[in-house]
Amino acid sequence: MARIVLKIDVDTLRGTRQGVPNLARMLDRYKARATFLFSLGPDHTGWALRRVFRPGFLKKVSRTSVVEHYGIRQLAYGVLLPGPDIGVRAASEMRAIHEAGFECGIHTWDHVYWQDNVRRQSREWTARQMQKSYERFADIFGQAPATHGSAGWQMNEHAFAQLDAWGMRYASDGRGHAPYRPVVGNRMLAHVQLPTTLPTLDELLGVDDLDATNVASRLLAATERNPHDQVFTLHAELEGQKLAPVFEQLLAGWHAQGRTFATMGDYHAALDRDSLPSYPVAWGEIPGRSGELIVQPD
């Protein structure tokens, strides 16, 4: 039976405190397993406004109502207000998700700082940022993280190598079509990448007359046609709040299609690692999203 792997990116303090519990309640109703990936350091959401000059950013903002989804106060963090430390302020909410039986992993330390800078940064910068998130995760959960999913699907070669150094066996740091082993500097790494295979809601909304009333139907039609396992990335700030009714439609629709719901760990455990293909780390564009991100070559 084909699976929908639910990968939940948690970017902000508001998303951790409000969106995450909302999602947990929805998932529980469908007995759906999922992986939550947490931002563990300061919330500097307001810094994202500096992307205003990036090609395609204003168009995306106008389609997805950023102010409506994130709120004025959230968008002031790091600009007009100091960025709160998510891992300090919302540690209890994170632990509650783990205690409820969901898989938890690292999203990032500082979401905007990582997303906007990692591609061009050094090994030392990358190691410092990643080690902060690793140590904070261990402090909160009392154990090492099993997995990682990068902010904005942004990585560099040092970051991929760090996942191996940590001993992680699987992660989801890019977009693509199937599990694979990443190659960095002509060396195949040990861990498996489980790329996001489906478009996200914020990439679809506002395109081809899609809105909150019909976007779920578009995604469900795509999975109806494709019998294979799929990885779907959602956001605590979107599907856990304003877009919660859309996500409930997706859960109901996938359930009706006979799909089961899985964590990244579930998905990885069912793979034959020795038979997986390898691909070099690559960058490319995705429809509906501004800028380049990590992609699996065709």
pLDDT band at 187 (very low <50, low <70, confident <90, very high): very high
- Say how many Å lie between the first and final Cα of the chain, rounded: 25
* Entry pTM: 0.90
Does residue 168 have a pLDDT over 80? yes
- Per-residue model confidence as pLDDT tens digits over 56-93: 544 544 445 554 555 555 555 555 455 789 999 999 99
The pLDDT, as a whole number, for residue 213 is 97
C-alpha 279/C-alpha 74 separation (Å) is: 38
CATH architecture of residue range(s) 3-295: Alpha-Beta Barrel (3.20)
C-alpha 148/C-alpha 170 separation (Å) is: 8
The residues near 246 (Cβ < 8 Å, ≥ 6 apart) are 201, 212, 215, 216, 239
Q: Token pair of 245, please?
A: 């009714």
Does residue 137 have a pLDDT over 50? yes
pLDDT band at 49 (very low <50, low <70, confident <90, very high): low
C-alpha 249/C-alpha 210 separation (Å) is: 15
C-alpha 279/C-alpha 298 separation (Å) is: 9
The pLDDT, as a whole number, for residue 76 is 52
The pLDDT, as a whole number, for residue 66 is 52
- Please state the domain extents for the chain: 3-295
- Per-residue model confidence as pLDDT tens digits over 28-47: 999 999 999 999 999 977 64
Q: What percent of the chain has pLDDT over 90?
A: 85
pLDDT band at 204 (very low <50, low <70, confident <90, very high): very high
C-alpha 256/C-alpha 279 separation (Å) is: 34
Question: Mean pLDDT throughout 102-106?
Answer: 98
